Amino acid sequence: MGNFGEGDRFRAEMFQDSNRLRFESPVSEASQKWWLEAFYEPFGLTPEGMADLITKSAPGEKSSAYHYIDASREAFSLRVDGDFPGTREFWYAYRELDLKGGAFNAEGLEISPGMHGEGYGRAIMGDLIDASRLMGIEKIRLRAEDIGIYVWLKMGFLPTSEAWREMRREAFDFILLHRPLLEKDRDVTALLTQVMAGGPNMARVLNLIDTEVPSKKIPSRFTRKMMPFGKVFFLEAASPWNGVLDLRDAETVKAMESYRARE
Amino acid sequence: MNTLRSGQARYPGNRWGAFADNPALDVGIAEEAWAALARSAWIESGGSEEKFNEAFPRYAKLLAQPTPL
């Protein structure tokens, strides 16, 4: 019979509920073993430590709830909640790891309205990127909605091939709609040819188009406000998209590092 | 729950947020690195650098500047 020591007790206790941590379903022995081998032994990460790591930039006290830890799927899902000290503002992040698929799913992130525009959303996504790189996770997936349709593209995410097919159709129509204005600055036929021939990273080319076109959504009493095509397309015309950040793409990672170092 | 972004309280139903008031406001990857990524995408899709430079003269100029050591 083996010795049951302090280390074993600690290992078992990390899967029990505490003030800051809750498990919505019991973690089986097999799943505990998987966690220890995949995260605790190589990286020293307990379930609570994982929650802290992937939301490192978020201030204040945090509480976490694991929806499941499942060894058979090599996956876990959790929600981390917190508040901004001294305010009534809050944030939460849903994250799911699919270790077999080598991907984190950034299922959701909410920052309460009073703290919008402070960069917390991007910082918390930066934490997930850092954690992924530490653990050798190759991809982060998300659903880009609302203002994120523009912002996540600028963070290095690209639409999936399927999402790109829809975005490409929308872009084609939007380029034709604004052709007279675009033609003053560039060869629209060449642009259309490349957009139709290209893959998801052509979304970056669409974003780069700086010809000013009228916005339909920004209220203006007399004339429509003129804004760069690259913003108007993503903030008004493009549908929500499923996207992925490929951490094996050295060029994208290098570009991301340069901006994160600056911010 | 209220999920308005900054700026959307004044402009309900749109995605612009803080971008609405400032066309130059941007986030994420910096302009020069972003232009380089876009140029790579253009070339990867079979386009020539020359055509990219014609389509995006301002960025072509930016990318042509020597990088400081």
Checking if the pLDDT of A7 tops 60, the result is yes
- For residues A124 and A27, membership in a common domain is answered with yes
- For residues A125 and A205, membership in a common domain is answered with no
Q: Which residue has the higher pLDDT, B3 or A247?
A: A247
- For residues A174 and A217, membership in a common domain is answered with yes
Helix (H, G, I), strand (E, B), or coil: what is residue A32? Answer: helix
A147 interaction partners in chain B (CB closer than 8 Å):
5, 15-17, 19
- For residues A189 and A131, membership in a common domain is answered with no
Could you tell me which residues are beta bridge partners of residue A77? A68, A96
Give me the phi and psi of A104, to 5 degrees please: -90, 135
- The answer to whether residue A150 sits within a structural domain is no
Q: Which residue has the higher pLDDT, A109 or A37?
A: A37
Q: Give how far A129 is from chain B: nearest CA, Å.
A: 14
- The answer to whether residue A94 sits within a structural domain is yes
- For residues A228 and A122, membership in a common domain is answered with no
For residue A223, the enclosing domain spans 162-237
- The answer to whether residue A253 sits within a structural domain is no
- For residues A169 and A224, membership in a common domain is answered with yes
Residues 6-45 of B with CB under 8 A from A: 6, 9, 11, 13-20, 23, 26-30, 33-38, 40-42, 44-45
Helix B31-44, helix A250-262: angle, nearest 10: 170
Residues 212-231 of A with CB under 8 A from B: 212, 215, 217-219, 227-228, 231
Q: What total of structural domains would you count in chain A?
A: 2
How many CB pairs below 8 A link A and B?
Answer: 137
Amino acid at A98: D
Checking if the pLDDT of B8 tops 50, the result is no
- For residues A15 and A70, membership in a common domain is answered with yes
- For residues A202 and A123, membership in a common domain is answered with no
- For residues A10 and A133, membership in a common domain is answered with yes
Identify which of A160, A161, A144, A165 has the alpha carbon closest to the alpha carbon of residue A234: A144
* Per-chain mean pLDDT for chain A: 92
Q: Which whole-number Å values give the CA distances from A113 to B2, B25, B39, in the listed order?
A: 7, 19, 36
Report the pLDDT averaged over residues B10-33: 78
B9 interaction partners in chain A (CB closer than 8 Å):
113
- For residues A128 and A204, membership in a common domain is answered with no
A155 CB contacts (<8 Å, ≥6 apart)?
Answer: A122, A125, A245, A256, B27, B28, B29
Task: Please give the Cα distance from A186 to A179 (Å, whole number).
Answer: 10
What's the confidence (pLDDT) of residue A111? 87
Helix (H, G, I), strand (E, B), or coil: what is residue A242? Answer: strand
Does the beta-carbon distance from B44 to A117 stay under 8 Å? no
* Complex prediction ipTM: 0.86
What's the confidence (pLDDT) of residue B17? 80
- The answer to whether residue A173 sits within a structural domain is yes
- The answer to whether residue A30 sits within a structural domain is yes
Checking if the pLDDT of A246 tops 60, the result is yes
- For residues A177 and A217, membership in a common domain is answered with yes
The string of DSSP letters for A178-225 reads THHHHTTTS-HHHHHHHHHH--TTHHHHHHH---EEE-SSS--SSSPP
Q: What confidence tier does B10 reach under pLDDT thresholds 50, 70, 90?
A: very low
pTM of the full structure: 0.89
Q: Which residues of A215-242 are buried (b: 16+ CB within 10 A; e: fewer)?
A: bebbeeeeeebebbbbbbbbbbbbeebb
Does the beta-carbon distance from A155 to B55 stay under 8 Å? no
**Residues A152 and A142 sit within 8 Å (Cβ to Cβ):** yes
- For residues A112 and A209, membership in a common domain is answered with no
